[in-house]
Structure 1
């Protein structure tokens, strides 16, 4: 047994010390943040992941400036101490649980000091349980919260304070999903994995709107939720509803051109039109990155900066499929807002005419 700082808090879920998280090698615990000025400029994102059974903690920070995405990657050996949420130059601090968190960055020419404050109580999304054939692919819980940011970001000596009204989203998820070295064991004869994901956390003047959907290759939904969260709402004041998204693919890509989300609001049906004003590549946070995918072992401590022009990203490369599009949002009932449209499609997806594993729109 190994005792760590977490063992002095009443957080245990099993008879074992906090250092142990069940028996599944793919268990993870993760922070995610994104943010943008009211007009969508100055987009940034951060993430930190803990992989107890892989003995790895990794973190990433990204900022977009003038069409270039600047990315800072860091990975270290966990040492079984899960309460030390710092990986080299990137640190996450919980200032007020479920409301206020801080992101601090200082390395390789990228610096930041950002404080996130929630607009309402976070929503708990339905438990994500998905199997491919007999194998459990995902089994995790996630909370999501919109909020505002204060602070600053510096790229190679050029510092910019957060514009008034800078907003965004943060989430926390924990459980089981593929992490670390890829599992080479085949799923079985005739089993073709398919994964479809859309997520649209949206910020309006006095409320947040959330929608997500997971579906299989045939378009059957296996996880979805829509929520309207008035500013200051507690858990009981969140308005649960349903949503339906229409979003064509841009030619030659797996990226959406735009989106039209219809939800049933407290005052009747509401149509929200999402118009992208930019693009963020999620591989900057490790998602589908060949080198920096989540939980991969890089040694005691490794830090690396990666810059790339967004116009140079090949949409036909699988590591570029996963995107967040900063979007202007217009509601036919509640005026204008801003948010992101995240999409990831892996494998075939019949509703969009994707028949082969790497078909493009």
Structure 2
């Protein structure tokens, strides 16, 4: 059961705030992304708190003219979990579970962005996954689509957000690998892998959410599809695990080249076709980043800007830092709707259905 308190980083376990506990890898995290109806003007924000590592970090990214601008910040947490600012990046919860504001001002990158939810956030099934005997993930997440207002400035060039800018935000809390990796091996014969797809879609009058985590043989261990009409309350969703995604990879990469999602409904299947528009590298928010990974300790306060020319990145870099992407896509449904959404994908290690046998073999 979600409550207003679940929009604040107070959690002690992967359960909602009513429960408490401790774990070295416990985290509490915000994520936002947004884009114009044609996929332009992409931006993303993340802020994470790691109570037992005494670290808070935040990231801001935006894309203009084929270049991805990233701002990274990290500080010592100092035990205060309600200070939602890390150097030049801050988040304000204006109305829990509905309205939040992001501000950025540092290293030539500035923004003032206000998110308003289209419907009550969905609570995704609890993610619990082990590699051999070891718990790898155990967390809860809420996800919400919404509208944005505000502006972004890059090196003095300020642009107001385009009319109709939409996107997705989420909040997750629990246990993930954070900070320095565990040097203890998993044990003989344990082959780790990770398969993840996530497609939050903004349609004219409703939102649609699909995700899948699967093992290396393709068996889903966490998946669901949810349809949320605009203005829906906590009991106003249609949800089903009976959904499947067909998604070819771009040659020489582990990035999606589009896809077709089929969701079963009582009135018949709903099909969504994804047509790629813009690629965002999730390393801009710390995911798979060798330097700015989540929870890494950098000092009392460290801020750094990183500019990436997207066309120059090696999709199969040995460090795996470019595997994790969001492909902003035009979405067409079999109900005649045209919308836009993100297609996030991360595939690490073997995945038998796609013929992937190692950690660095492309599709």
- TM-score of Structure 1 vs Structure 2, range by shorter chain: over 0.9
1:247 is aligned to 247
1:13 Cα offset (Å)? 6.3
Distance 1:86 1:130 in 2: 31
Distance 2:174 2:289 in 1: 21
Change (3 A) 1:281 1:35: same
Distance 1:326 1:128 in 2: 25
Distance 1:12 1:175 in 2: 8
- Is the Cα–Cα contact under 8 Å of residues 152 and 160 in structure 1 kept in the other structure? yes
1:120 is aligned to 119
Residues 184-203 of structure 1: pairs in structure 2 closer than 5 A: 184-203=183-202
- Is the Cα–Cα contact under 8 Å of residues 46 and 60 in structure 1 kept in the other structure? yes
Distance 1:342 1:353 in 2: 20
Residues 125-136 of structure 1: pairs in structure 2 closer than 5 A: 125-136=124-135
SS of the residue aligned with 1:324? strand
Distance 1:32 1:139 in 2: 18
Paired positions, count: 349
- Is the Cα–Cα contact under 8 Å of residues 21 and 52 in structure 1 kept in the other structure? no
Residues 150-161 of structure 1: pairs in structure 2 closer than 5 A: 150-161=149-160
- Is the Cα–Cα contact under 8 Å of residues 213 and 223 in structure 1 kept in the other structure? yes
2:323 aligned residue (317, 321, 325): 321
The answer on 1:344 being equivalent to 2:350 is no
Map Cα deviations across residues 199-256 of structure 1 (whole Å, 9 max, x no partner): 0000000000000000011111100010000000001111112310000111110001
1:23 Cα offset (Å)? 2.8
Distance 1:237 1:138 in 2: 29
Residues 1-361 of structure 1: pairs in structure 2 closer than 5 A: 22-241=21-240, 242-265=242-265, 267-317=267-317, 318-361=320-363
- Is the Cα–Cα contact under 8 Å of residues 12 and 174 in structure 2 kept in the other structure? no
Map Cα deviations across residues 108-161 of structure 1 (whole Å, 9 max, x no partner): 000000000000000000000000000000000000000000000000000110
TM-score, scaled relative to structure 1: 0.94
- Is the Cα–Cα contact under 8 Å of residues 49 and 81 in structure 2 kept in the other structure? yes
1:3 is aligned to none
Distance 1:267 1:39 in 2: 30
Greater alpha carbon shift after TM alignment, 262-271 vs 325-334: 262-271
Distance 1:225 1:343 in 2: 16
Distance 2:274 2:297 in 1: 38
SS of the residue aligned with 1:277? strand
- Is the Cα–Cα contact under 8 Å of residues 57 and 76 in structure 1 kept in the other structure? yes
User: Unmatched 5+ residue regions in structure 2?
Assistant: none
Distance 1:265 1:154 in 2: 43
- Is the Cα–Cα contact under 8 Å of residues 44 and 61 in structure 1 kept in the other structure? yes
Map Cα deviations across residues 314-356 of structure 1 (whole Å, 9 max, x no partner): 0012100000000000001142000010000010000111011
Distance 2:269 2:190 in 1: 39
The alignment's C-alpha RMSD in Å is 1.6
Distance 1:278 1:357 in 2: 25
Change (3 A) 1:131 1:41: same
Change (3 A) 1:12 1:259: closer
Distance 1:238 1:103 in 2: 28
